Amino acid sequence: MEVILALAIGVLVGSGVWLMLRPRSYQVIVGLCLLAYGVNLFIFAMGRLYIGAAPIMPKGGFIDPAAYADPLPQSLVLTAIVISFATTALFLVVMIAARGVTGTDHVDGKERNQS
Amino acid sequence: MVAQNLLLMLVLAPFVAAALAATLPAGARNAQCWLAGLSMAVMLLILGMLYPETTQGRSVSGSLDWIGTIGLELTFRMDGFAWLFMVLVAGIGLLVMLYARYYMASDDSFPRLYACLLAFAGAMAGMILSGNIIMLVVFWELTSFASFLLIGYWYRRQDARDGARMSLIVTASGGLCLLVAMVVLGQIAGSYDLETVLKAGPRITGHALYPVVLALFLLGAFTKSAQLPFHFWLPNAMAAPTPVSAYLHSATMVKAGVFVLLRFHPALGGTDAWFQIVTGFGLATMLLGAVNALFKHDLKGLLAYSTISHLGLITALAGIGTPQALIAAVFHIANHAVFKASLFMAAGIIDHETGTRDMRRLSGLARAMPVTAALAIIASAAMAGVPLLNGFLSKEMFFEATYLWNNGSPLDNAAPYIAVLASAFSAAYSLRFIVKVFFGPDAHDLPRQPHEPHGLMRLPVLVLVAICLLIGILPQQVLGGWLQTASLALIGPDLPEFSLKIWHGVNAPFVMSTIAMGLGVLLYLLPRSQIDTGEDSTRLMRRMDVARQYNRSMDILTIRLPRAALRLLSANGLQAQLRAIVLLALAGGWFALRRLDWNVPLPALGPRELVFGLLWLVGAACAIGAAWQAKYHRFAALILMGGAGLVTCATFVWLSAPDLAVTQLLVEIATTALLLLGLRWLPKRDKEIADDRNLRARGRRFRDLLIALGCGTGATAMALAVLLTAPGAAVGDWFLRNAYVEGGGTNVVNVILVDFRAFDTFGEITVLAVVGLTVYALLRRFRPAPESAERPRLQLDDGEQALEAYLFVPAVIMQWLFAPIIALSAYLFFRGHDLPGGGFAAGVTLAVAFLLQYVAANVRWVEARLTVLPMRWMGAGLTTAAMVGAGSWIFGYPFLTAHAQYLDIPLIGKVPFSTAMLFDFGVFSLVLGAIVLMLIAIAHQSLRVASRPAPAPRETGTEAG
């Protein structure tokens, strides 16, 4: 499991970084989304992997933490998901606006050859 | 105890009044004036009640524990000196508040003016009364800040903005120096308590760091009190409204510098360095200020340089430092505040009634406004030091101090001559002010016909001039007692006997005074025509134009240096910049990972791993496919990206994180919808981009591929490195143990979000709100590129009717789904505390419900039937969350402390209820509002474009609320 998840994170991050370095703004958006998946999974994995562990506790009383999934990375990732959604939205709008203003979808606002 | 509370009230009252003033309606000018005046009157009343406690060298103090762990307390302490200064602040404040009511034009913002003036009074009170030297600096900087706001009051004027910025930069940098000085001072003295520091005088002056402390301290005091070479900000601050100049820039704030000089004289003074520097700069400032004032044509410019000169006088007295000199300094602080404030107000009246402050144009005003003229003449006579007026007395004392004290240094020997010369110039400019403005022929080209002002506008001047006369004629009776009290606080029990008298006989100071007066008259009258029509400043002042140096250094610091840094540090274009960041991260990762031992046994692969591996085979294919296709096939890339997202979601389910899965799934939907809406505004990419296949482009891609591969490998290695190590004790265990007991919920993730770490969540929803508003603001004035402005091809071919027919069945289903989705959202929300779900999930779900309606029918149809007010949802959400947080203060708990219990509701049974749930409702409401706002704002773009040919209103209800 660990190896597969690590490889998955690697693929997501690699694809994300590749797209982030591309010149078209849409590529960068998709790249950031993929990168966000990778990073979210990475943060999530920091709490180790629990397969089939109960995420929800019974009511009341003392419980043994070892039997449950680590909630802290989960809540961190939950926050991260929402924030990455917000940044995606913001970047999308910046992209649309920049496209309207500059007439191109190049990240620098101008094509490479017309400096 | 009563005295302590009164003391705290003294500092708090103006701040409270400022908050009230800011909230009063703009038109309530009289109410503003009453509020401000009353708060000043209350301060005076409190001061009157506290006076008995400050006599005989005693002081009142009260303290509030603030940050006890670092020894920071809000200690306030009032002795006789602080008391006298406070009377100036409150008394002149009272008059200024009244004056401002009539000075300001009706279209000026009264709430802003009065709020700033009152806040300034509060900051000043805090500075004067602070018993902790760090807090003293904090309030000191607050006064600089208030001054900045007030100078920039008419912010549409360039000179006001420049003057405000200049004063802030100069005085606030001085304040920073003062802060460092105070920190070192506190370290030397062993305490930040004012009294302890003042008692540690010998230890401080003998310390190796004394020169450093002294230099920094004096930088602070000199910048504030506009001493050379920092005087230039004060004339530029005259862009402020005249009440502000009268209050801040002559009577009180600029006196803060000399206030600390006098206050810290026991701790830092008495050394030769102190004498040479402080007296030297004081005398130089006094002389140059007076010379320059004589040549100013602007009334307020003259008064500003005169203020600089008089501040120089007080500074010189502080430098001399004998008991007599200190008494004279305190006396002159009061005297100068009284006559200069009245002169500023008189100048304001002249400006107000004639429309100009230019002395070249003003003439013969004594006929048009005799009462104001009489008052202004008396006040400027006091400024010149004419007998029977208050200025005369303190000037005599100053002469005596320069004449008497003798340590034989060159400066000391020169002091009396400089003093006489400066006073001569002082007499000269006062005379010029009187003669030029009030006498001579009538001026004919004034912008307005001059006449007497409103009686209440003149009243403050009248009061101040009456005080000038009273002090001048009966000094001992009027001010003697207070001065005694103030000096006692400053100098201590060995205060020499002194008595204020008008006539001391023909002695040295009297002779000096007479020479100065005579010389002053000659100085003005002989070259009169040159002065009246000549240049605005002296050649000397122009040559040492510090303001220009300041501007040049600002230019270098704020424009050239950053630009050079930008050239040096930034890459050309975003890609290079990102590449540098990524490479740096890669290097950091390598640095962290290079020493790890990779010889760990890999876990065996079982059937479970096989399925998981297959799942991620799909996920990886999706991710790589998206990366590959994003350039030419955006839609395919979007779908592939969604595929990778779904696999991520499945992973969350698999690995016992249902909450994450739910949220990820919903956010996935919203993201996809958003990107789909955005796709239409991008340029068509059905032709290949030129030189996409040439060698350089391939080279670039190959390089980036290597980087991406490196990053991917690095991320894998890092994840493995962590995953293959056994976990240590995790914080999560604590949350698991306490979630139910303290948070009252069984869904630990949700409890963490809305209870334990609610403050993070609060910050996060704020981010979301900011993003929503930014999206809305960016799209309000959006203009699409011309080629994407027309309707999409499909719609052009078939028209709207055909489109509706095409989507008929899905549309009906989507409309029917509206209610079930709302129910689902409510369900997710309510079970959130105990089971997967919660405010985020519920908010996104409901937003998706709205989105579906927009997809199902056209925008106009939806908005005719549904009123969505995203702004209100957002506002309500943020407010609810903040209120829930603040509510715990009422019960004496820190911000956002939650309370949980189970309520027994008939029929429904036991329902978990906690304040965290209310907070979660805030989250829900805000998430809903923000997402709907963003989606609608983007969706509306096509509507606006579609209706462009017709002269439809541009903001077609982008936000219905």
Interface test with A, best of B602, B611, B654, B671 (most A CBs within 10 A): B671
In terms of DSSP bridges, do strands B900-905 and B72-78 run parallel, antiparallel, or are they unpaired?
unpaired
Residue A108, in any domain of the structure: no
Residue A15, in any domain of the structure: yes
Closest alpha carbon to B302 in B416, B104, B436: B436
How is residue B363 written in tokens? Answer: 């003439």
Q: How close A114 comes to chain B (CA, Å)? A: 13
Contact list, B902 vs chain A (CB under 8 Å)? none
Percent helix, percent strand, percent coil in chain B, to nearest 5: 75, 5, 20
Residue A115, in any domain of the structure: no
List the alpha helices (DSSP H) in B792-856.
793-806, 808-831, 839-856
Look at A32-46, B92-106, B460-474, B752-766 and tell me which has the smallest mean pLDDT: B752-766
Cβ pair B319, B271 in contact under 8 A = no
Helix (H) or strand (E) holding B910, with range, is strand B909-914
Cβ neighbours of residue B172 under 8 Å, at least 6 residues apart?
B141, B144, B145
How is residue A68 written in tokens? Answer: 């449950």
Q: How close B767 comes to chain A (CA, Å)? A: 8
Residue contact A93–B779, C-beta within 8 A: yes
pLDDT at B197 over 70: yes
Residue contact A10–B715, C-beta within 8 A: yes
User: Which one is predicted more confidently, B265 or B936?
Assistant: B265
Q: Which of residues 648-677 of B touch A (CB under 8 A)?
A: 648, 651-652, 654-660, 663-664, 667, 670-671, 674-675
Residue contact A14–B613, C-beta within 8 A: no
Q: What is the pLDDT of residue B142?
A: 94
pLDDT in tens, B436-460: 899 988 888 888 888 888 889 999 9
Indicate the residue of A8, A48, A87 with minimum beta-carbon distance to B616: A8
Identity (one letter) of the amino acid at B364? G
Supply the range of the domain harboring residue A95.
2-102
User: Which one is predicted more confidently, B599 or B208?
Assistant: B208
3-state secondary structure at position A89: helix
Count the Cβ atoms, other than its own, within 10 Å of residue B140: 30
pLDDT at B961 over 90: no
Mean of pLDDT over chain B: 86
Alpha-carbon distance of B388 to A96, in angstroms, equals: 76
Residue A109, in any domain of the structure: no
Mean pLDDT of B741-756: 78
Number of helices followed by number of strands (H, E) in chain A: 3, 0
3-state secondary structure at position A105: coil
Contact list, B583 vs chain A (CB under 8 Å)? none
Alpha-carbon distance of B538 to A114, in angstroms, equals: 55
Tell me the ipTM for this assembly.
Answer: 0.94
List the alpha helices (DSSP H) in B225-322.
233-236, 242-246, 255-263, 265-268, 272-274, 280-295, 299-320
Q: Which residue of A has its CA nearest to B720?
A: A6
Residue with tokens 């052009």: B796
pLDDT in tens, B596-647: 777 767 777 788 888 999 999 999 999 999 998 888 888 999 999 999 999 9
Indicate the residue of A48, A78, A93 with minimum beta-carbon distance to B938: A93
Cβ pair B372, B346 in contact under 8 A = yes
Q: Which of residues 734-753 of B touch A (CB under 8 A)?
A: 735-737, 739-740, 746-749, 752-753
Residue contact B631–A89, C-beta within 8 A: no
Look at B389-403, B737-751, B817-831 and tell me which has the smallest mean pLDDT: B737-751
Identity (one letter) of the amino acid at B848? V
Residue B40 C-alpha from the chain's centroid: 24
**Residues of B850-865 as b/e, b for ≥16 C-beta within 10 angstroms?**
bbbbbbbbebeebbee
Q: Which residue of B has its CA nearest to A65?
A: B733
Residue contact B708–A24, C-beta within 8 A: no
Indicate the residue of B575, B681, B941 with minimum beta-carbon distance to A107: B575
Chain A contact present for B930, CB below 8 A:
yes
Chain A contact present for B771, CB below 8 A:
yes
- Determine if residue B784 is left, alpha or beta; phi over 0 gives left, psi from -120 to 50 gives alpha, anything else beta: beta
Q: Which residue of B has its CA nearest to A102?
A: B785
Q: How close A81 comes to chain B (CA, Å)? A: 7
Alpha-carbon distance of B16 to B38, in angstroms, equals: 12
Alpha-carbon distance of A107 to B682, in angstroms, equals: 12
Residue contact A56–B634, C-beta within 8 A: no
pLDDT at B575 over 70: yes
Contact list, A74 vs chain B (CB under 8 Å)? 657, 659-660, 749
Indicate the residue of B664, B682, B783 with minimum beta-carbon distance to A81: B664
Alpha-carbon distance of B899 to B884, in angstroms, equals: 10
In DSSP terms, B77 is beta-bridged to B61
Q: Is the dihedral of CA B340, B346, B349, B350 positive or negative?
A: negative
Residue B870 preceded by cis peptide, ω within 30: no
Q: What is the pLDDT of residue B952?
A: 38
Mean pLDDT of B816-822: 91
Could you give the number of structural domains in chain A?
1
pLDDT in tens, B375-401: 999 999 999 988 889 999 999 899 988
